[in-house]
Structure 1
Amino acid sequence: MFHINDYIMYGKTGVCQVTGIEKGKLIGNAEIEYYVLKPLSCDTTIKIPVNTTKVNMRPVVSKMEVLDFIDSMAEEDTVWIKDDRSRFKEFESKLNEGSCLEWMEIIKSIYIKERDKQSGRKSISPRDRDISKEAKRLLFEEFSLSLGIPKDDVESFIINRVSNF
């Protein structure tokens, strides 16, 4: 169970702060406890049942976990699925899973493919570009909070750490 002021990852919404835990009544007078979440990326409020399993909710990773993820990134293998439909389905599944390692794998796979295609004057598909952008948004938002640095500095932080490793 999360507590007020905890930061959590909530599905593809991204980092949210738990601003309240409230009770409310549903249809049929059943009482339910729910989290009141405030996404860091937008000015909105989300209310979600405490015991929901429909959307992935997990604690934000620690600074040490972030550093371990970055340090292990170079060793992580990437697999490029040639069939666009299968690849998009796989990437969407990984985006929805809510795992930093999965997001890093997506980013690395698309980065390597884009680099390889640029040498042949081709580019990746717009859908691959969008998926990479979404994975970066989620990953960088979480890493930013954990590392205590601005979101715009996360990519250069990762590049510097990997190149010095």
Structure 2
Amino acid sequence: MFQSGTYVVYGCKGVHKILGTTRLNLEGIPKDKEYYVMQAVKKPDGAVYAPVEASKTNMRSVMTREQAETFLGAAGHIHALTCNTPKQREENCKERIKSCAPDALLQVIKTVMERREERARQGKKLTLLDMHFMEQAEDILYEELAISLSISRGEVEEKIKAYAS
């Protein structure tokens, strides 16, 4: 169980702060079921509720500072995905974003960056789907690293560029 004030990565929805727990008084929802009350870091003007006992929910604590520094140090060894077809790339990116694992998110970012360079050489722009994958992966990973390292998202982007190349 997570404590109030803890930052968590909540599925593909990004980083959230646990504000506490509550029981929801809504029709059709068991009155004895406890829910986390969370606030999205990116959009702090609302509340998100997630079951405390949810086994299917992908929720984990954000990295510690030490874990984040270790991750950045290893970022250069994390490679882009090797995909033979656009469909395979799409499925691989979806799967990795859904996992919310930092190394998997960085793989997506590197894959789309390589694809951007490849398409630029052909005089083409990045596809909307690739841009969507990049934004999702960056939002989750960069928010987590910003909180773990107590720095801005812009500083995280610079660190990723420096370490990942």
| Partner SS, residue 77 of structure 2 | coil
| TM-score of the two chains, using structure 2 as the length reference | 0.88
1:4 maps to a residue whose letter is S
1:41 maps to a residue whose letter is K
State the Cα distance separating 1:28 from its structure 2 match: 7.7
State the Cα distance separating 1:143 from its structure 2 match: 0.7
User: Which string of whole-angstrom CA distances, capped at 9 and with x for unpartnered residues, describes residues 55-113 of structure 1?
Assistant: 21000011221222222121123233232222212211111111111100000111122
Q: List aligned pairs for 1:3-14, cutoff 5 A.
A: 3-14=3-14
- 8 Å CA contact 2:83–2:89 kept in 1: the answer is yes
Identity %: 23
> Can you give the 5+ residue segments of structure 2 that lack an aligned partner in the other structure?
none
State the Cα distance separating 1:162 from its structure 2 match: 4.7
2:56 alignment partner, one of 45, 54, 68: 54
Of 118-127 and 40-49, deviating more is 118-127
State the Cα distance separating 1:30 from its structure 2 match: 4.7
| Partner SS, residue 3 of structure 1 | coil
1:38 — aligned with what?
39
| Greater RCO (Cα-Cα under 8 Å, separation 6 or more) | 2
| TM-score of the two chains, using structure 1 as the length reference | 0.88
> Can you give the 5+ residue segments of structure 1 that lack an aligned partner in the other structure?
none
CA gap 1:59/1:29 in 2 versus in 1, 3 angstroms: closer
CA gap 1:120/1:33 in 2 versus in 1, 3 angstroms: same
CA gap 1:23/1:97 in 2 versus in 1, 3 angstroms: same
Of 151-160 and 95-104, deviating more is 151-160
CA gap 1:62/1:28 in 2 versus in 1, 3 angstroms: closer
1:99 — aligned with what?
101
CA distance in 2, matches of 1:6, 1:144: 15
CA distance in 2, matches of 1:64, 1:54: 28
CA distance in 2, matches of 1:123, 1:151: 25
- 8 Å CA contact 2:75–2:163 kept in 1: the answer is no
- 8 Å CA contact 2:78–2:106 kept in 1: the answer is no
The CA RMSD over aligned residues, in Å, is: 2.0
Number of residue-to-residue matches in the alignment? 163
Q: List aligned pairs for 1:57-96, cutoff 5 A.
A: 57-96=59-98
